[in-house]
């Protein structure tokens, strides 16, 4: 077997992955919602001065949503190539992929509330009432 774990091999893998990422972002409409939402979440986190733990939570949450969307796009594309007629297996596969995206979105909403709740209220209340909800 040919050993592909050379620097050139890794570089080729990285180039192919980047090509796939660019293609997915261009062809899958959901990225036009998810990417600006992720950008806005990062800006808001910066504004609210997230601590390291919250940044880690935010990065993982954004990653989960984007990875689910990428796999969903890959499956949809593969399904189109396999069979453009009605196919029960493809239906189940695509429905499960959609469920993964839905699940990641629910996780993102719950994580968003947990991550932003205290920093937001601290920002909202501190200048007027000097009330702090603490750091947790």
Q: Give the annotated binding-site residues for ATP.
A: 28, 76
Q: How far is the CB of 62 from ligand ATP (least distance, A)?
A: 18
30 binds ligand ATP, rule: CB under 6 A: yes
Q: How far is CA 5 from its chain centroid?
A: 28
Is residue 68 within 8 Å of 100, Cβ to Cβ? Answer: yes
Degrees, nearest 5: CA angle 89-62-81: 25
Segment 92-131, which members bind ligand ATP (CB under 6 A)?
94-95, 98
Distance, in Å, from the CA atom of 38 to the CA atom of 50, rounded to the nearest integer, reads: 15
Distance, in Å, from the CA atom of 50 to the CA atom of 42, rounded to the nearest integer, reads: 10
Residue nearest to ligand ATP (CB): 91
Give how many residues touch ligand ATP by CB under 6 A: 12
Active-site residue, 69 included: yes
Instruction: Fill in the per-residue mask, 8 to 27: x = in contact with ligand ATP (CB under 6 A), - = not in contact.
Output: --------------------
Which residue numbers belong to the known binding site for a divalent metal cation?
28, 76
**Structure token pair of residue 102:** 């839905």
Instruction: Fill in the per-residue mask, 69 to 98: x = in contact with ligand ATP (CB under 6 A), - = not in contact.
Output: -------x--x---x--xx--xx--xx--x
Distance, in Å, from the CA atom of 69 to the CA atom of 30, rounded to the nearest integer, reads: 8
Residues 45, 62, 68, 69: which is the catalytic one? Answer: 69
Neighbours of 36 (CB within 10 A): 10
Is residue 133 within 8 Å of 118, Cβ to Cβ? Answer: yes
Q: Which residues of the shown chain bind ligand ATP in the complex (CB under 6 A)?
A: 29-30, 76, 79, 83, 86-87, 90-91, 94-95, 98
Catalytic machinery residues? 69
């Amino acid at each position: 077997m040919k050993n592909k774990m050379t620097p050139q091999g890794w570089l080729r893998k990285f180039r192919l992955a980047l090509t796939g990422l660019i293609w997915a972002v261009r062809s899958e409409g959901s990225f036009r919602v998810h990417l600006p939402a992720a950008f806005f979440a990062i800006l808001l986190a910066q504004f609210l001065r997230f601590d390291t733990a919250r940044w880690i939570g935010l990065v993982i949450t954004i990653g989960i949503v984007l990875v689910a969307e990428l796999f969903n796009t890959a499956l949809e594309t593969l399904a189109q190539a396999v069979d453009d007629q009605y196919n029960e297996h493809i239906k189940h596969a695509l429905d499960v992929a959609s469920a993964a995206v839905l699940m990641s979105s629910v996780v993102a909403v719950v994580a968003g509330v947990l991550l932003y709740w205290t920093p937001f209220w601290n920002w909202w209340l501190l200048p007027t009432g000097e009330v702090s909800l603490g750091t947790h």
